[in-house]
Every structure is written in C-alpha cells, then in structure tokens.
Amino acid sequence: MTKPLSWGQLLAILVATGENLPDHRTGKNSRYTISDAMLGAFGVFFTQTPSFLARQRDMQRRKGCNNAQSLFGVTHIPSDPQIRNLLDPIAPAYLRPPFWAVLQQLAAVGVLADYRSFNGGLLCSLDGTQYFSSTQVHCAQCTVIKKETGTRYAHTALIPALVRPGKAEVLVMEPEFIMPQDGAEKQDCERNAARRWVARNASQLAQQRVTILADDLHCHQPFCELLQAQHLSFILTCKPDSHPTLYEEVALLAKIEAVAQVSDRRWTGHGYEVWTYRYVNQVPLRAGPKALAVNWCELTIISEPTGAVLYHNAWATDQQLTADTIRPVVAAGRSRWKIENENNNVLKNQGYYLEHNYGHGKQYLAAIVVMLILLAFLFHTVLQLCDEKYRRLRTALGTRKTFFDDIRALTRYHYFHGWDQLLDFMLAELELTPG
C-alpha cells in the first residue's frame, strides 16, 4: 500500500517554482507577480477551463474571494494578455525542476516502485510531437519548413514518459524542445533533442536504472553509444530498411539455425493466437569494423484460426536475450506505444488540447504553455495514483470530460477553501464515500 501524496504537496512544488522565476520587467508596474501569471495559467490547464480566470475575477468582485487563490495560490489574477506578456520571456528550462521534484515525491511514497520493470529499472519512452503549425504566425524559436507550396512554421517537442507494461498511467517527464540552438548552422531535430535530453538528465536516469525506449529514428550507433556511456540501457525499434547490415547478418545466422526461437499459444477470449519470438545476440548495428554489437529480437503474432499476421515488430537492445528474458524484453519494447496512446493522444484530444494556439509570443510563450500543460497532466496522473477521493470521483463519473465539466461548473458558482473541500463536496453530492 502506497502512502498518499496530497494536493498540498504538489501545489507547494509549483509555488516554490513560481517564486524562482525571473522577472524581466524594468518598469514600476509590478502588481502581478510572475508567480501569479504562472499559477494562473496552470489553473486554466489543470481545470481544463479556458475561462477559469475570467470567472474567478468575477467571483472576486461578487464574493470577495475566488478559487484561483484558494486552489492554486494566485494572489492577484492577471488578465490573459498580461499572463502572455509576463511568461513570454521565461525560458522553459525554469519549469524543469517540478517534474523531477514530483518524481522524487513519488519515489518517497512508493509509487515509483510500481513502475519498475523486468530488470528492476524504469522504462522511459521518448517520442517527438508537433504542437504548433502555421504559415503566418511564427517566432524566433520556430522550425522553418520550406516547400514548393510555401513556408510553414512549427514547434515540436521531444516528450519523455515513464511507462510500464500493463499499467495504464504514464508519468510524463520534462520535455526537450526542438528549437534553434546557439552556434548551430543546421536546424534542430528530434535526434539532437534526444541526445541533449539524455546528456542533461543522465545522472538522475542512471540512478534509477532507466532503459530508454524509442522508435527506429533513434536506433543508430551514436545514440546507442551515448546511452551506454551514460550507463543507460536501451530497447529501440529496429526496422530492416534502416538496418540492412544487421538484417543480412540475422538472415545468415538463420540459415545455420543460430537464431533462437520460442513460441507461445495464447487464448484471447475469442480464439487462440500464436506468439513467435526470434532473437540473437551480438549482431552489428551497422556496417564497418567499428560497428556496435547489439542484441536483436522480433515478435510475430498470428491468428491461429485464420493464419493472419496480427502484429510484427523488431528491436535492438543491449539486454542479454535468453529464453527467460525474451518475453519481458519484448513486452518492454512494445510498451513504447503507450507514449503515443496514453500520453500524446490524451494531451491532444482529451481536454488538454496541446495543439491549440493559446498564445504564441515572440520568445518562449509557446514552450512555456506546453510545460504547464504537461505539469497539469502529470498532476492529474499523480492524483489518480495517490488521491483516493480523486480516484473515487473519476471512477464514479466515468469519463474525464464529465469530471472536468463538473469541476468547471462548480468552480464558477461556488467558492471552495481548498482542493479537499471541493472533492468532499462532490463526493457528498454524489453520495459517495472516499473508500
């Protein structure tokens, strides 16, 4: 049984972060603090209510109190334009610490132990996603894409998350933004972003015995060597088209029956499937005398009644493959998809609307907005894992939309002294008990 992690502890992390944000203003007008701007914007994304702050300003006029202050610690509520202006100059690096602080809290209460995989370590999936695109609106941090049809401006981020096979919730981590880098002649890309993210966080990742999961884009020797140098393991999607030397070696070994194979027959409730694993250790990742030797495996799932191939994929890894380890290694490799389904899909289509233009700014506003959305998503996940009242309500109300529709309505018309009072009110009205 894990210990609870309270909303108060989460909010304290965010408040402490806000107090350390730089203030770039030079004038005397400082009624609204940078912290108020950050906490207010976070409140919008946490409640999934675009008009949350406008409604709380109205409540302050009517009742002399408001939920932005009681729930999120906002002293004075800035307007939306004021928030954009205050946050635009702040580099996203200033919002990295709360991601790690939350993970430390999760480790302290035992939740992170539930994410440990077959080798006692954690699985971290990396994936790039675009969150802004326009042919007109742009800033100095945009990636410029020139085609015959015209010029397009875009923002993309590499978003890591801790995943585990069989576990629905993912724990989003601090992202790395794909944006122009000082001294670089070429445009930034996802590969470079992954290398920066790993290099910056290597010491913390190594302490947790992290295995990196990523798609075929990252299955190349420089990245694998970086991971090994930082004492990190890897399980990377490995496609034939991008690894001809490796697959030629596998084909040659298969001819002399040096590629091991195991099969399982699994009942799905509707019929049997045959899961066939093939694997071999120490094959070259690329051509050349200095090629890195990796271990290769694949899984093919076939419908026994029809013979149809239901699934096929392959991976390169530094994990030793045996008849005992092949299944958990493949399960770990397959869990990479969770960052697309349980992370990116939720962020784009389940109330967070990551791709919506909340304000582009001239410097870092677009990236700061993404950081706050990711923090809101992380806080929701932590509450789902650690807060019995929150979990009880989410289960009773069914969909995420219903829950946040209720939050939206309640915080518009009622003042709550704190998060627990809000949840207690909802539980009482639904005639539910926390347990």
Can you tell me the distance from the alpha carbon of 211 to that of 163, in angstroms, rounded to the nearest whole number? 10
CB under 8 Å to 330, separation ≥6 — which residues? 277, 297, 299, 315
Predicted pLDDT at 1: 43
Check if the beta carbon of residue 303 is closer than 8 Å to that of residue 270: no
Q: Are residues 266 and 360 in the same domain?
A: no
- Kindly state whether residue 151 falls inside one of the protein's structural domains: no
Count of other CB atoms within 10 angstroms of residue 337: 16
- Kindly state whether residue 205 falls inside one of the protein's structural domains: no
Q: Are residues 75 and 13 in the same domain?
A: yes
Q: Are strands 233-237 and 171-172 parallel, antiparallel or unpaired?
A: unpaired
- Kindly state whether residue 254 falls inside one of the protein's structural domains: yes
- Kindly state whether residue 144 falls inside one of the protein's structural domains: no
Q: Are residues 377 and 284 in the same domain?
A: no
Domain boundary among 267, 290, 316: 316
Q: Are residues 57 and 3 in the same domain?
A: yes
Predicted pLDDT at 369: 93
Instruction: Tell me the average pLDDT across 63-72.
Output: 97
Q: Are residues 9 and 102 in the same domain?
A: yes
Give the 3-state DSSP-derived string for 328-387, with helices as H, strands as E and coil as C: HHHHHHHHHHHHHHHHHHHHHHCCCCCCCCCCCCCCCHHHHHHHHHHHHHHHHHHHHHHC
- Kindly state whether residue 199 falls inside one of the protein's structural domains: no
- 192, with CB counted inside 10 A (0-12, 13-18, 19+), is middle
What's the pLDDT band for 344 if we cut at 50, 70, 90? low
Check if the beta carbon of residue 379 is closer than 8 Å to that of residue 171: no
- pLDDT of 50 over the 50 cut: yes
- Kindly state whether residue 327 falls inside one of the protein's structural domains: no
- Kindly state whether residue 342 falls inside one of the protein's structural domains: no
Domain boundary among 285, 316, 347: 316
Can you tell me the distance from the alpha carbon of 67 to that of 116, in angstroms, rounded to the nearest whole number? 37
- pLDDT of 303 over the 50 cut: yes
Check if the beta carbon of residue 41 is closer than 8 Å to that of residue 359: no
Q: Are residues 305 and 377 in the same domain?
A: no
Q: Which amino acid is at 302?
A: I
% of the chain at pLDDT higher than 90: 78
Number of domains composing the chain? 2
Q: Are residues 373 and 307 in the same domain?
A: no
Which DSSP state fits 403? Answer: H
CA 277 from chain centre, in angstroms, equals 29
Q: What is the pLDDT of residues 255-294, one digit of tens each?
A: 999 999 999 999 999 899 999 999 999 999 999 999 999 9
What's the pLDDT band for 314 if we cut at 50, 70, 90? very high
- Kindly state whether residue 427 falls inside one of the protein's structural domains: yes
- What is the residue-averaged pLDDT of the chain? 92
Q: Which amino acid is at 271?
A: G
Widest pairwise Cα distance in the chain: 82
Q: Are residues 3 and 97 in the same domain?
A: yes
Q: What is the pLDDT of residues 395-435, one digit of tens each?
A: 999 888 999 999 999 999 999 999 999 999 999 999 887 55
- Locate the DSSP E strands across 255-306: 260-267, 272-284, 293-303
Check if the beta carbon of residue 325 is closer than 8 Å to that of residue 262: no
CB under 8 Å to 359, separation ≥6 — which residues? 80, 84, 365, 366, 369
Q: Choose the weakest-confidence range: 47-61, 231-245, 359-373.
A: 359-373
Q: Are residues 368 and 311 in the same domain?
A: no
Q: Choose the weakest-confidence range: 38-47, 208-217, 256-265, 335-344.
A: 335-344
- pLDDT of 379 over the 80 cut: yes
Cα atoms in the 13 Å half-sphere on the side-chain side of 352: 23
Domain that holds residue 78: 1-110+356-435
What's the pLDDT band for 100 if we cut at 50, 70, 90? very high
Can you tell me the distance from the alpha carbon of 260 to that of 252, in angstroms, rounded to the nearest whole number? 13
- Does residue 204 or residue 347 have the better pLDDT? 204
**What's the pTM value of the predicted model, to 2 decimals?**
0.93
Three-point CA angle 337, 167, 216, nearest 5°: 20
Q: Choose the weakest-confidence range: 114-118, 196-200, 264-268, 431-435.
A: 431-435
User: Do you know the residue count of the chain?
Assistant: 435
